[in-house]
Amino acid sequence: MDSRPISNEQHTMSVLVDNEPGVLARVIGLFSGRGYNIDSLTVSETEHEAHLSRITIVTTGTPMVIEQIKSQLERLVPIHSVNDLTVSGQPMERELALIKVAGKGEKRVEALRLAEAFRAQVIDASTEHFVFEMTGKLNKIEQFVLLMKPLGLVEVARTGIAAIGRGPTRM
Amino acid sequence: MARTMTGAEIVMQALADQGVEHIFGYPGGAVLPIYDALFQQDAVKHILVRHEQGAVHAAEGYARSTGKVGAVLVTSGPGATNAVTGLTDALMDSIPLVCITGQVPTHLIGNDAFQECDTVGITRPCTKHNYLVRDVNDLARVLHEAFYVAKTGRPGPVVVDIPKDVQFAEGSYVGPSNVVHKTYRPKVKGDQEAIRQAVDMIAAAKKPIFYTGGGVINSGPAATQLLREFVRMTGHPITSTLMGLGAFPASDKQWLGMLGMHGTYEANMAMHDCDVMVNVGARFDDRITGRLDAFSPGSAKIHIDIDPSSINKNVRVDLPIIGDAAYVLEELIRVWRARTPQADKEAHGAWWKQIDGWRARNCLDYKPRDDVIMPQLAVQRLYELTKKEDVYITTEVGQHQMWAAQFYRFEEPNRWMTSGGLGTMGYGLPAAVGVQMAHPDALVIDIAGEASVLMTMQEMSTAVQYELPIKIFILNNQYMGMVRQWQELLHGGRYSHSYTEALPDFVKLAEAYQCVGIRAEKPGDLDDAIKEMMSVKKPVLFDCRVHKEANCYPMIPSGEAHNNMLMGDDVSEEELEAAISEEGKVLV
């Protein structure tokens, strides 16, 4: 049977873990040790009472590698469940970005106008700069950042993707 | 009922409650409270090794020959880092261990304290799981969990790192029965529908083969019995990985010998040509598959494994069954019996005829010599003279290991301890210490190479201290033989640093350790020398001087397919030159 790599796919996985020291290191160590890609990784405690955290990982690989990543994650002892959101249906994916733009005159006005069009919030400003807060899909943020480049883009901070499955049930 | 005791006492109580009778270890500053508690009890016997790597390998040998969890106790810093090779070895070969490491007191963690290292950080990728216990009230639960995680599912090593202040602190003890794990739930029962499909596939096969591995041995004696029963019911051929030797008796006519890089011609050819492959507890390792895109191209593959991550990792399979080998085999037998499939006598007859043709190739043949001991002959004579004994074999890593696997024939499981996945030189001697500790009256032999055995030679001193009459049977060719063989095949015979110009006199070394040294230099000496070794009730270093440039055949050159084996009896210079492609050279 042919086992050579076929085409790469991007998958978003939601990993429910015990919120204990070292659990993120286990997940990251697994990815680096086995040579898997991390396109984006976010983590935060989501259920305080139950000591649960949710790690959202976006990764790229052949279908065989994606299957491996899921099984390898499930093998880690403090992991409750691994859900490949891409397999279970198009997940809701959002990212938050903070974008700092400095400039004066026409460029500054243009930056603000575009921010309104993209529904970005101004969260800090002076006569020489804005910091925009923006939530959205990956490509929306990327497009906005691209537009800000000629208008005096200084720096960008992004959270990485948080994702959740569609419909009324939990994963 | 919860009882209050110190952390160190909790450790000893938990070990005793887990049925630990022997623990292999080495004291140091950060485990002194545990050693003090150890001193004041009788349930657990401590074996003092000479190096922490030896402690872990000894515990591995102990675990593999008994089916129990091996236990290790070492100190912080260098104690823990020295254990890393053994832990990695145990992870690769799925050996259940619990390794307790001392740690500097919690308030010093992260301060670069004396003998501090980030033990959980360092051992995270080389253990199945690990713990740093910061609160003495978690200690008992964590220790019981550690044993549970180590032995269930796919077994593996677990480290419990205990800071010194936690060892002194008082806390409550809970027994093993009160431990339930929150997230860890290995799946042991195979899917019924998949099992029925497997029976259909096996029943319809014209050229079937069983390919089994260490998972059958790890599953326990029941799995071995069920495997034998099922394989004999079907009448189909069976081969096994290095790790799985002994699960099926080597004397049986259905047995094809080991497969893989140095496996038999018949096993590899049958794997290549089969139409249905039944993998029980093996993992399609690169030593087994050879060139992946040419691996058994025409077969439908069934893969039974307890670890879902082993499925479709290297080779895509048609029917995965996730579960414990014993459970799945029992169900296969039940469904097979209910079905009583009609055997395709004609097809199976033709298949066996084809296999017999490959067998007639006598792939393990070698050119005998009168003037010098051939290493193959040494293992053959050792086997013939010891096979009626209650014998356990360990090995180091290299040519001698492959010759042992080819020429020593195993009838029972848990009798063969070798470092398969990691390939750790220096494994066999300390492993023999562990095996002999578990089986004091058995004949325990480490089939060794002189280079490997020097890596952990200091453990002879442990064997002498505990009166463990292990036999270290060294095939001494003064070369790192497998390295030399690869240099011959791949690097134009430029033997870069694979020859040991200065070696100890092993007979005198044995005397220095206060054990017995025996040397054999000619084929005619061999039998008497082996008999002498067997009669000695002390540890023995047996210096068997063998042909220096013998190569291990048959061999699938790296990067080649199963049906492209180099045979020992007729390899020409040109064939050797052409054997390994440029692509194959970069593989290990």
B314 touches chain A (CB under 8 A): yes
Interface test with A, best of B124, B151, B277, B293 (most A CBs within 10 A): B124
What is the model's pTM? 0.95
**Is the torsion defined by CA of B327, B328, B329, B333 positive or negative?**
positive
**Separation between Cα atoms, residue B394 and residue B446, nearest integer Å:** 5
A101-126 average pLDDT score: 96
Of residues B45, B114, B508, B549, which has the active-site annotation? B114
Would you state the pLDDT for residue A89?
87
- Please give the order of strands across the beta sheet that includes A129-136: A121-125, A129-136, A92-102, A153-164
At B57 the three-state DSSP class reads helix
Indicate the DSSP class of residue B117.
Answer: -
Q: Residue B566 in contact with residue B555, Cβ under 8 Å?
A: yes
In this predicted structure, the answer to whether residue A14 has a pLDDT above a threshold of 70 is yes
Q: What is the CATH number of domain A92-163?
A: 3.30.70.1150
Which residue of A71, A72, A73, A84 is the best one to mutate when testing the B interface, meaning the one whose CB has the most B CBs within 10 A? A71
A78: distance to nearest CA of chain B, Å? Answer: 6
Q: What is A9-88's CATH number, 3.20.20.140, 3.60.21.10, 3.30.70.260, 3.10.20.30? A: 3.30.70.260
Q: Which residues of A fall within a CB distance of 8 Å from B183?
A: 18, 77-80
pLDDT of residue B573: 67
Told to judge if B482 belongs to the known catalytic residues of this protein, a careful annotator would answer: yes
Domain ranges for chain A: 9-88, 92-163
Q: Give the DSSP letter string of A15-31.
A: EEEE--TTHHHHHHHHH
Chain segment B164-184, per-residue pLDDT in tens: 999 999 999 999 986 778 889
Q: Is B121 on the interface with A (CB under 8 A)?
A: yes
Report the distance separating Cα B108 and Cα B33, nearest Å: 17
Contact A80/A18 with Cβ under 8 angstroms?
Answer: yes
Shortest distance between the Cα of A58 and any Cα of chain B, in A, equals 19
Asked if B31 and B23 touch (Cβ cutoff 8 Å), the reply is no
Rounded CA-CA distance B241/A133 in Å is 58
Pick from A66-70, A151-155, A166-170: least confident: A166-170
Of A31, A75, A76, A81, which to mutate for an interface test with B (greatest number of B Cβ within 10 Å)? A75
Contacts of B129 in chain A (CB under 8 A): 76-77
pLDDT tens by residue, chain B, 588 residues: 578 999 999 999 999 999 999 999 999 999 999 999 999 999 999 999 999 999 999 999 999 999 999 999 999 999 999 999 999 999 999 999 999 999 999 999 999 999 999 999 999 999 999 999 999 999 999 999 999 999 999 999 999 999 999 999 999 999 998 677 888 989 999 999 999 999 999 999 999 999 999 999 999 999 999 999 999 999 999 999 999 999 999 999 999 999 999 999 999 999 999 999 999 999 999 999 999 999 999 999 999 999 999 999 999 999 999 999 999 999 999 999 999 888 899 999 999 999 999 999 999 999 999 999 999 999 999 999 999 999 999 999 999 999 999 999 999 999 999 999 999 999 999 999 999 999 999 999 999 999 999 999 999 999 999 999 999 999 999 999 999 999 999 899 999 999 999 999 999 999 999 999 999 999 999 999 999 999 999 999 999 999 999 999 999 988 889 888 998 866 666 666 677 777 777 877
A1: confidence class by pLDDT, cuts 50, 70, 90:
very low
Cα–Cα distance for residue pair B59/A44, rounded to 1 Å:
39
CA pair distance B249, B231, nearest whole angstrom: 11
The chain A residue lying nearest B299, using CA atoms, is A1
* Residue of B414, B516, B398 whose CA lies nearest to B453: B398
User: In the 3-class helix/strand/coil scheme, how is B19-41 assigned residue by residue?
Assistant: CCCEEEECCCHHHHHHHHHHHCC
Could you say which of B482, B534, B555, B565 is catalytic? Answer: B482
Please give the mean pLDDT across all residues of chain A.
94
Closest CA to B205 of B76, B105, B94, B336: B336
End-to-end Cα spacing for chain B: 55
Amino acid identity at A122: V
Same fold, A9-88 and A92-163: yes
Cα–Cα dist B44/B174, whole Å: 19
